[in-house]
Structure 1
Amino acid sequence: MTWGNFIMIVIGIVFISLAIIKDYEPLLLLPIGFGAIVGNIPSVAGMPLSVYDDGSVLSYIYYGVTKGIFPPLIFLGIGAMTDFTCMLSNPKLILLGAAAQIGIFLTLVGALYFGFSPAEAGSIGIIGGADGPTTIFLSSKLAPHLLGATAIAAYSYMALVPVIQPPIMRLLTTKNERLIRMAPPRDVTAREKILFPIGGFLITTLMAPGALSLVGMLFFGNLLKESGVTERLAETARTALIDSVTILLGFSVGASTQAQTFLTHDSLFIFALGAASFCIATAGGVIFAKVMNLFLKVKINPLIGAAGVSAVPDSARVVQNVARSEDPHNFLLMHAMAPNVAGVLGSAVAAGILWSVLG
């Protein structure tokens, strides 16, 4: 065992502690943390044990990560549990989900400046979407050698949403802006909910064909939910299926953090750039909401712009908590879900564009 292995085992224990003690994304951090411990136990010469050894059990599980199989299955489950009602009731809030993607493209430029190749820069930039499955999918296509570092960075920042976002939100807004109350969303008909996944799929994939597998599975899962005739399939997708895939994905990604391949100079840069990307994405959404207010008669609370990153539903919950700390009777959760689910689509479309251009 090297010092690097020991450090990664300690990091794995820290992840498990954060999951259990602080309740930071336990469904993600606990499997990743234990996987990191497993992946850094020194293997025996001649025995295929790690994710990087051909023929090992872990390598077969990790195949779902390296070949981009797990992320679309995750998106199927997300689609089956996502309610697009708030977004459909106030379509202009979709723009906030798009604005938050600025973190992806600015970080891509920063990664190029620090000497990463265009493909590597795209894999690093997508971390700003705060979407682990999308990050894994794009990294597996553009820069498989960075897969472990980008995946761990993305999931780490997803878990730290309640820590990272509130200071940025308060810094960029005034007290009066945080006190803005928004009108209740309009009712959305069942027909609109059924037509949206079909129309949304056609529009987004014609814009970014590279996002077809992610967006296709997302909208397919949502159609299962909204159709009203496939509730059994929708229930399976949002419970048993997504839970099973999350276990395998989190554990195998954690096991890929073998110190010999993970603790590198590039990994440290990736974590730093990923943090910058996430902060820029949060700030971009809030600032764009303030810009929108310059042209709107009925103002929106700029806090909801922070929910444009696709950490569903944690970013929306953070918006609610920050708003209620100023006014306990201000309920922004449903409004924040609109840019939140739009951010999921935005990051998937951004990944499709980056794959098309850089692949």
Structure 2
Amino acid sequence: MEFLWNGLLSITWQQAVMYAVGLLLIYLAIEKDYEPALLLPMGFGAILVNIPFSGALNQMMEGVGETHGIVQWLFETGIEASEAFPLLLFIGIGAMIDFGPLLSNPKMFLFGAAAQFGIFFTIVVAAFLGFDIRDAASIGIIGAADGPTSILVSQVLKSNYIGPIAVAAYSYMALVPIIQPMAVKAVTTKKERMIKMPYQPGKVSRLTRIAFPIIVTFIAGLVAPASVSLVGFLMFGNLIRECGCLNSLSETAQHTLANLITLLLGITISFSMRAEQFVTVQTLMIMVLGLFAFVFDTVGGVLFAKFLNLFSKNKINPMIGAAGISAFPMSARVIEKMGVAEDSTNHLLMHAIGANVSGQVASAVAGGIVLGFFM
């Protein structure tokens, strides 16, 4: 009973706040179905690491010495020492992606690039607000709407705010269906949202599908060498998918590997959600800046599409530009739903998927560019 009271009396108000944050993440995962594979382990992990004298963390025990907590060990081994968890997840993501819609309409590559505008704009804003330039760069990557990239960049740059950045990145990924429609409608007219784009897929040869991940790896590596691990693992996963002779490995990467790493990554990142590091004014600022980056990435893609329409005979529905973020396939589905809402016969899904998978590659390259510039 004495140990129970010691534990209860040792709880700080900051730890109590983290219990609330953890329960909120669990609620969003279970009741709202917002990225449950990530938010649920992150929420439960936030509780684990904030229990006083938690055995999930390294502790000094009298007569025993230092004990090694599993969550801290996973973080130090799988993220801090090697960035292995987020990189391995990219293999699974790459194996899930069909680049066919993008290869049949290469113009969609432009939207992936345009939808990274918010990243670099937010870096400037965060630095102006007083964040260290490495922290500012890590915060800006939230705009990519790509959790693994955000974790990797913030870890490599030794940011002091890995936990808040991870929570912001995954939270905004989960909130794509809520945030993106508001951002898109703010910068488009109903007439623009009703523009029809008939889908006429071009034939993509097997050779093209196999060559694509290899060529992208070479190009990304030469342009932004720091992106090789990000882009390379993504493209390796896609090569496994497209080669046609490793179907069992492709299935394993898409399901077993991706699910296992997602589970471990979610609960491991909670190590950086300890109350003394998380409950700060800076965390609130990061959440706001992350939303700012995400919204401006969306708006940047939409405005770029509207700019192209000034010179194009065949008009592009500007909502397609919003799908250039990395939240695959959620963003593409949101754009399809918005198109149908404006006109029940207007199906934009395949165009949006082309832009969306382009955003997956572009966000990895953007992460590499940030690493190369600020390392």
Q: TM-score, length-normalised on structure 2?
A: 0.92
Partners of 1:25 and 1:321 in 2: how far apart?
19
Corresponding residue for residue 22 of structure 1: 32
Corresponding residue for residue 61 of structure 1: 74
Corresponding residue for residue 358 of structure 1: 374
Q: 1:309: how far off?
A: 1.0
Corresponding residue for residue 195 of structure 1: 211
Corresponding residue for residue 107 of structure 1: 122
Q: 1:50: how far off?
A: 2.0
1:323 matched to 2:339: yes
Q: 1:255: how far off?
A: 4.1
**Which deviates more, 224-233 or 183-192?**
183-192
- Verify the 8 A CA contact 1:51 1:255 in the aligned structure 2: no
Q: 1:58: how far off?
A: 1.2
Structure 1's unaligned 5+ residue stretches are none
Instruction: Give the partner amino acid of 2:370.
Output: L
1:90 matched to 2:101: no
Query: SS at 1:145's partner residue?
Result: coil
**Which deviates more, 198-207 or 255-264?**
255-264
Q: 1:266: how far off?
A: 1.6
Q: 1:249: how far off?
A: 0.4
- Verify the 8 A CA contact 2:14 2:275 in the aligned structure 1: yes
Structure 2's unaligned 5+ residue stretches are 1-10, 60-65
1:178 matched to 2:193: yes
Corresponding residue for residue 44 of structure 2: 34
Partners of 1:140 and 1:88 in 2: how far apart?
33
Superposition pairs of residues 74-223 of structure 1, within 5 angstroms: 74-184=89-199, 185-223=201-239
Q: 1:256: how far off?
A: 2.8
- Verify the 8 A CA contact 1:194 1:223 in the aligned structure 2: yes
- Verify the 8 A CA contact 1:51 1:62 in the aligned structure 2: no
Partners of 2:47 and 2:124 in 1: how far apart?
34
Partners of 2:344 and 2:255 in 1: how far apart?
33
Partners of 2:99 and 2:291 in 1: how far apart?
28
Partners of 2:213 and 2:249 in 1: how far apart?
16
1:224 counterpart (240, 260, 277): 240
Partners of 2:202 and 2:313 in 1: how far apart?
17
Distance 1:51 1:277, change over 3 A: farther
Partners of 2:364 and 2:25 in 1: how far apart?
26
Partners of 2:261 and 2:366 in 1: how far apart?
23
Partners of 2:346 and 2:51 in 1: how far apart?
50
Render the CA deviation track for 1:148-194: whole Å, top value 9, x for unaligned: 11111111111111111101111211112111121212221212111
Partners of 1:234 and 1:49 in 2: how far apart?
34
Render the CA deviation track for 1:37-91: whole Å, top value 9, x for unaligned: 21221116xxx53279873211121121223111111110011010001111111
Partners of 2:256 and 2:315 in 1: how far apart?
41
- Verify the 8 A CA contact 1:152 1:254 in the aligned structure 2: no
Q: 1:133: how far off?
A: 0.2
Render the CA deviation track for 1:331-358: whole Å, top value 9, x for unaligned: 1111111111111111111111111111
Instruction: Give the partner amino acid of 1:92.
Output: K
Give 1 or 2 for the bigger CA radius of gyration. Answer: 2
Corresponding residue for residue 240 of structure 1: 256
Render the CA deviation track for 1:77-121: whole Å, top value 9, x for unaligned: 011010001111111111111011010000000011011121111
Corresponding residue for residue 256 of structure 1: 272
Render the CA deviation track for 1:288-346: whole Å, top value 9, x for unaligned: 01111111121111111111110111111111111111112221111111111111111
Query: SS at 1:234's partner residue?
Result: helix
Instruction: Give the partner amino acid of 1:31.
Output: P
Instruction: Give the partner amino acid of 2:24.
Output: V
Partners of 1:119 and 1:242 in 2: how far apart?
29
Distance 1:329 1:5, change over 3 A: same
**Paired positions, count:** 356
Query: SS at 1:297's partner residue?
Result: coil
Partners of 2:32 and 2:307 in 1: how far apart?
35
Partners of 1:51 and 1:342 in 2: how far apart?
42
Partners of 2:67 and 2:134 in 1: how far apart?
26
Partners of 1:9 and 1:127 in 2: how far apart?
24
1:335 counterpart (342, 351, 355): 351
Render the CA deviation track for 1:254-308: whole Å, top value 9, x for unaligned: 3431111111122111111111000110100111011111111211111111111
Query: SS at 1:194's partner residue?
Result: helix
Partners of 1:73 and 1:358 in 2: how far apart?
24
1:304 counterpart (310, 313, 320): 320
- Verify the 8 A CA contact 2:135 2:160 in the aligned structure 1: no
Q: 1:21: how far off?
A: 1.4
